[in-house]
């Protein structure tokens, strides 16, 4: 199938394909059970024109390659139990996000860039905590801003002790913005740096070096330049010793997606996304599996990356990223499915029954990351459950993620399809939590333990619309007389409201309950960064981000409200 994408002169379309042999900015090397990812940014190879990626600064293109590398290490290299991230530049680890790139970017591009980078950082932490593939950062020079935030995503940080190399988060004093990819949250929540020390650290542009950085818990170890690689390797090997990943065995190659992109549609093998520009709506139609699951993990491995659960995760993930970056005006996403409920349930059972297998675990975690990406995508989400749908288990999560869901009572006039059903499975009760740590059902029934307990009794049961509505699993259950008008009005009103108000409302309503580091980064930090990136103090003609590197001092509006 044709994988080419149309382009426009103003904003060439962004795709998220990458292959290690085509990387421009990263090098991957594997030595036994330890892999090394080396950042060696090509200054002239930015994803857009008009800036140079000096001092290992990065843009979206650099992050797309890192995202790809993290995925491939998890799926293609089961033998890798630890990963070292370092730099090929002499005495420079990374200067963080490229400032001229940020200054020139559209606001939506800034926000989506930070969000995607956050998600890749989170995937690194998930690999460490849940996949037995721990990350160590070997900082061989200055690590500033997003460069240090990349280090913070790692389990262990080793800083060269040479008297000059420092770690810093200089965004507040130098750019009038915030560290955009989790730095503030990770230093106080993850590394538990005292808040007064964190306040000093985040307001000094030059950062901290050597012993003070170690004492303040900003790094985990120091090493002279002559022993830096040795110390990092030793710490990586110690982490690798605690992993349960198989030492021998084949990985799962991730081949290029079969995908066709046009102005009206994005089509994959198991997914089609239709774009209605007048309604500002994208409709996702996911195909359920067309056959039972394999008998065992070996058979799954033999089917390659076309195994249904993995294929759907890859395609849905790619489609979400495509719409985020290339279709910012398409504000409503509608989810539909087609297939047989029992087959989806059977595939869920296969994943659950083989959850200790390393690849099954990776596929489930990939589904989890993809669903989280949908949760935080700043789009209105609507699910339509109709005859012929297969909203069971993993696919039911899409309906549970939706801001509203509609399930048809009965059938459409003239249709020979039986009434729609949904089926909760064990997959809805733990393996696929949101960024808050709660499942979508726990979020839906927050404070209603009795309602959640009743749902447990319906695991594996096909529920028709009236039952689903009574149990609280869908928002509305109209019949065929009211269906068209109710769905149309829901979509039309979404397009009529302010996108800014909707984004704020949806983000507030989707994440009730407890907070985690991950939810704070998205629900708190991303919201503030979104706002600050629009303020004149940062991006106005006299703002710090606009004047950075010019020698001129920014002109701040001193109002604090």
Q: Which two tokens stand for residue 470?
A: 């009574």
pLDDT at 531: 84
Q: Would the pLDDT of 398 be above 60? A: yes
Helix (H) or strand (E) holding 158: strand 156-160
Cα 258–261–266 angle (5° rounding)? 80
Half-sphere CA count of 272, side-chain side, radius 13 A? 9
CB 134 within 8 A of CB 156: yes
Q: Would the pLDDT of 391 be above 90? A: yes
Q: Would the pLDDT of 128 be above 50? A: yes
Structural domains of the chain ordered from first start: 20-240 (3.90.226.10), 262-510 (3.90.226.10)
Task: Tell me the C-alpha distance between 181 and 43, whole Å.
Answer: 22
| Count of Cβ atoms closer than 10 Å to residue 298 Cβ | 9
**pLDDT tens-digit series, residues 216-254:** 999 999 999 999 999 999 999 999 999 999 988 899 999
pLDDT at 424: 97
Q: Would the pLDDT of 3 be above 50? A: no
pLDDT at 529: 76
pLDDT at 42: 98
Q: Would the pLDDT of 4 be above 90? A: no
Task: Tell me the C-alpha distance between 269 and 260, whole Å.
Answer: 10
**pLDDT tens-digit series, residues 346-358:** 999 999 999 999 9
| Count of Cβ atoms closer than 10 Å to residue 472 Cβ | 15
The DSSP result for 115-152, as a single string, is: HHHHHHHHHHHHHHHHSS-EEEEEE-SEEETHHHHHHH
User: Which residues, in sequence order, are CB contacts of 516 under 8 Å at separation 6+?
Assistant: 435, 436, 437
* Confidence band, pLDDT 50/70/90 cuts, at residue 6: very low
pLDDT at 12: 83
pLDDT at 249: 83
**pLDDT tens-digit series, residues 519-529:** 998 777 777 77
Average pLDDT value for the chain: 95
CB 511 within 8 A of CB 99: no
More confident residue, 561 or 414: 414
Q: Would the pLDDT of 90 be above 60? A: yes
Q: What are phi and psi of 5, to 5 degrees?
A: -120, 140
Q: How far is CA 183 from CA 117, 144, 157, 170, 526, in A?
A: 12, 11, 14, 11, 11
pLDDT at 9: 35
Task: Tell me the C-alpha distance between 390 and 393, whole Å.
Answer: 9
Provide the β-strand partners of residue 160.
223
Cα 113–28–269 angle (5° rounding)? 60
pLDDT at 7: 41
Half-sphere CA count of 214, side-chain side, radius 13 A? 12
**pLDDT tens-digit series, residues 289-335:** 999 999 999 999 999 999 999 999 999 999 999 999 999 999 999 99
pLDDT at 154: 98
pLDDT at 11: 67
pLDDT at 560: 86
3-state helix, strand, coil in the chain (%, to 5): 45, 15, 40
Mean pLDDT of 179-184: 90
E strand segments, 7-123: 26-31, 34-39, 82-87, 92-94
- Give the global pTM: 0.96
Q: How far is CA 11 from CA 112, 327, 361, 465, in A?
A: 15, 11, 38, 44
């Amino acid at each position: 199938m044709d994988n080419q994408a149309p382009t426009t002169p103003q904003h060439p379309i962004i795709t998220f394909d990458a292959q290690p042999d085509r990387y421009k900015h990263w090098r991957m090397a594997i030595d036994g059970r330890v892999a090394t990812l080396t950042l060696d940014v090509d200054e002239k190879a930015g994803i857009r024109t008009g800036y140079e990626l000096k001092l290992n600064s990065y843009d979206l293109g650099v992050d797309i390659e890192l995202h790809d590398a993290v995925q491939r290490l998890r799926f293609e290299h089961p033998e890798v139990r630890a990963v070292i991230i370092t730099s090929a530049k002499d005495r420079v680890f990374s200067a963080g996000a490229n400032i001229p790139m940020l200054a020139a970017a559209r606001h939506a591009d800034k926000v989506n860039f930070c969000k995607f980078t956050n998600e890749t950082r989170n995937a690194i932490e998930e690999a460490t905590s849940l996949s037995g593939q721990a990350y160590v950062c070997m900082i061989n020079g200055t690590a500033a801003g997003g460069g240090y935030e990349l280090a913070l995503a790692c389990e262990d940080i080793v800083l060269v002790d040479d008297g000059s190399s420092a770690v810093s988060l200089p965004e507040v004093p130098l750019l009038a913005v915030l560290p955009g990819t989790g730095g503030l949250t990770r230093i106080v929540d993850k590394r538990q740096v005292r808040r007064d020390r964190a306040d000093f650290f985040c307001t000094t542009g030059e950062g901290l070096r050597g012993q003070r950085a170690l004492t303040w818990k900003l790094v985990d170890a120091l090493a002279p330049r002559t022993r830096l690689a040795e110390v990092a390797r030793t710490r990586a090997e110690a982490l690798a010793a605690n992993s349960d990943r198989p030492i021998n065995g084949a990985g799962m190659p991730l081949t290029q997606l079969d995908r066709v992109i046009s102005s009206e549609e994005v089509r994959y093998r198991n997914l089609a996304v239709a774009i209605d520009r007048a309604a500002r709506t994208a409709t996702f139609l996911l195909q359920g599996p067309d056959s039972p699951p394999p008998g065992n993990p070996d058979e799954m491995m033999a089917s390659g990356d076309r195994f249904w659960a993995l294929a759907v995760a890859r395609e849905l993930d790619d489609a979400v990223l495509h719409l985020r970056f290339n279709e910012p005006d398409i504000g409503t996403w509608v989810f539909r499915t087609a297939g047989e409920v029992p087959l989806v349930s059977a595939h869920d059972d296969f994943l659950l029954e083989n959850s200790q297998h390393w690849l099954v675990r990776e596929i489930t975690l990939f589904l989890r990351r993809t669903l989280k990406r949908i949760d935080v995508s700043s789009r209105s989400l609507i699910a339509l459950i109709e005859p012929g749908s297969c909203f069971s288990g993993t696919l039911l999560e899409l309906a549970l993620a939706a801001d509203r869901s509609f399930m048809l009572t009965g059938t459409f006039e003239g249709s020979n399809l039986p009434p729609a059903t949904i089926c909760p499975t064990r997959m809805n009760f733990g393996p696929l939590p949101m960024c808050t740590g709660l499942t979508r059902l726990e979020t839906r029934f927050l404070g209603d333990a009795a309602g959640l307990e009743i749902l447990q009794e319906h695991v594996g049961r096909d529920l028709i619309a009236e039952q689903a509505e009574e149990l609280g699993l869908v928002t509305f259950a109209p019949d065929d007389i009211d269906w068209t008008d109710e769905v149309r009005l829901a979509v039309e009103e979404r397009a009529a409201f302010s996108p800014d108000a909707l984004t704020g409302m949806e983000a507030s309503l989707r994440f009730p309950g407890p907070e985690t580091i991950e939810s704070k980064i998205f629900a708190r930090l991303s919201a503030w960064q979104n706002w600050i990136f629009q303020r004149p103090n940062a991006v106005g003609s006299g703002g710090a981000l606009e004047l950075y590197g010019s020698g001129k001092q920014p002109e701040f509006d001193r109002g604090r409200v």
